[in-house]
Chain A
């Protein structure tokens, strides 16, 4: 296959929110060259494809960064990195101001102050937020962008991250890229579990279906320490369209009701996981389906809901119209999504030091791929991109370039060519993907299992996922797109294995639905106020428990293990 070799000072893997911001930071603060590798095109790739209508992480008047960190800690029932949350929160407002300078429209009141929505949110007209960030990337001549290239592996054989390998998803060109430092910003993982609608609409999901957990998988396979994979994220959404429910609940005052018309939300609590849990429990008790009660609202309110959803999730307005029943004459059915692994909402991801370096020297992490700091949203991802960018500059400035080891380049070419060799394979990547999602659904707490699991089930899941990974090594691709599907499947399988190990390790139920362990159904603060971390060593996942890190501390990696 055609091979292209590239050299850069800092390689950024993933051109989404955090990755683009890291690249901009590096270009502004140093003379170093940056290369962004992105699987799609940076203009609208990642979580911001559709745009957003609010910035959910902002320090409003009278509040402090510590308040924001405290809120995140409470929502995650204490299992967060205080140091990461505080250093992130301190930058939320400065990155917001910078977004405004790039052209983002932030709504203001008569006094020129941002219009707040609650304690932590400000309203924006953010349809074009990603194009604005991408445009700023393009303005810097130090930044090169390689699009439609999927990075499949890191180079770490010298004991630090010195580059990566990948291929062009349209033309199949092989890339070998050497760098002094690498920033990983590949997002979280969707598609591990059987989705709400496994057929034609399988990708109509909360999180980008193109985020496969590639960064997690590369890190895991290179022995990086990972944290809190057991804290899965599940969103409560409008059935079928997976549209947000907040506008109905807060905007229209709609209550969660069961099929008998009883309001049930007070019974279970109002955090995200409790709202999902309540809905699951009502269904299990035979009182489903559950709804947000919109029947009986005024026509005027109904029309404003139609418009609100056209702005942020047009499929919901389309669904109302397709139903043939006016909005005010029906309730909106709700459901939990399949579980995701995502460090921007919950705390799963790379175990990093306060400077956002992973346990692999020279590998920095930002955004959803980075663990310990939930509730990042857009601005938190930008703040982390900035911190990771600054740290990567300090690290790379001292180093001279190191060529990729030739035997490693050849081994990676051979692996990729192996999948393209035309060998016979009984199975296809989509078949194995379906098998993986079915296993995770049934045996590792998916929608079909009401998010619950037992140790005995996790044992089955672990064996089946290991078998599927074995089978995936024999798959065959005729086109670069089929090759992409094979790599994406293998990334997800690697992540699944770690999720299973983490779910098993935390012997309590701290977060309903996110980690509903039927063998350990109670929360146990005496024994479990600690992180569950893991490393892949000699083919086995070793679980490591670590003590909580608070805000104000500076955490550095050491060999000391808890």
Chain B
């Protein structure tokens, strides 16, 4: 499991480089890059810190990954979890953060 950073969306703020508990993300050409994808814990700290939703989570093929990228976007109290499949289809699961602990 690891992350992919969308270079077009990244604004180069560097927050993810400070958030990663493994110091795995660096900067290159003013953009964040995942330097050591195979060392990722999958903790999603970087996703949570990214202000422009440029970080995507994916499962390694060795643990059942099929190429889908997952990221979140916040709209007020609603956290939208967005799954982008390799065939271009998109699925979304919205969660009301006020109820996030009811499950």
A→B interface (CB under 8 Å) = 39-41, 43-46, 49-51, 53-54, 107, 123-125, 127, 147-148, 169-170, 197, 199-205, 208-210, 240-241, 247, 251, 304-308, 310-311, 314-315, 317-319, 321-323
Contact = CB atoms under 8 A, between A and B. Distances in A.
B10 interface: no
Nearest to B71: A314
A314 B81 contact: yes
Given A49-B43, A202-B38, A208-B21, 11 more contacts: A43-B19, A147-B18, A199-B62, A200-B37, A200-B62, A201-B60, A203-B38, A241-B64, A310-B81, A317-B93, A318-B70
**Closest 4 interchain pairs by CB?**
A308-B103, A240-B63, A201-B60, A49-B43
Contacts of A199: 60, 62
A314 B44 contact: yes
Contacts of A50: 43-45, 48
Interface of B: 1-2, 18-23, 37-45, 48-49, 57-66, 68, 70, 81, 83, 91, 93, 95, 97, 100-101, 103
Nearest to A105: B101
B21 A210 contact: yes
A108 to B, nearest CB: 12
A197 B103 contact: no
Given A40-B21, A319-B64, A310 B45 contact: no
A304 B101 contact: no
Contact of A46 (B1, B21, B37, B64): B21
B64 A311 contact: no
21 contacts: A40-B23, A49-B19, A50-B45, A50-B48, A124-B101, A127-B48, A147-B18, A199-B60, A200-B38, A200-B62, A203-B41, A209-B22, A210-B21, A240-B64, A241-B64, A305-B103, A307-B95, A307-B103, A314-B57, A314-B70, A321-B83
A16 to B, nearest CB: 9
B63 A201 contact: yes
Nearest to A130: B45
B59 A322 contact: yes
Contacts of B38: 200-203
B1 A315 contact: yes
Contacts of B91: 321
A203 B100 contact: no
B62 A310 contact: no
Given A40-B20, A307-B95, A310-B95, A204 B68 contact: no
A323 B61 contact: no
Nearest to A210: B22
Contact of B60 (A44, A45, A200, A311): A200
A240 B66 CA distance: 13
Nearest to B91: A321
A46 to B, nearest CB: 7
Given A45-B21, A311-B95, A209 B57 contact: no
A315 B60 contact: no
Residue picked from B2, B23, B40, most chain A C-beta under 10 Å: B23
Contact of B65 (A203, A304, A322): A322
Nearest to A128: B48
Contact of A241 (B22, B23, B37, B59): B59
Given A44-B21, A53-B101, A204 B64 contact: no
A170 B18 CA distance: 12
A307 B99 CA distance: 10
A528 to B, nearest CB: 36
A189 to B, nearest CB: 15
Contacts of A147: 18
Nearest to B65: A322
Contacts of B49: 43-44
B103 A204 contact: no
Contact of A201 (B1, B21, B22, B66): B1
Of A46, A51, A314, the most chain B CB neighbours within 10 A belong to A314
A197 B62 CA distance: 7
B19 A203 contact: no
A170 B59 contact: no
A200 B81 contact: no
Most buried by B among A203, A205, A208: A203
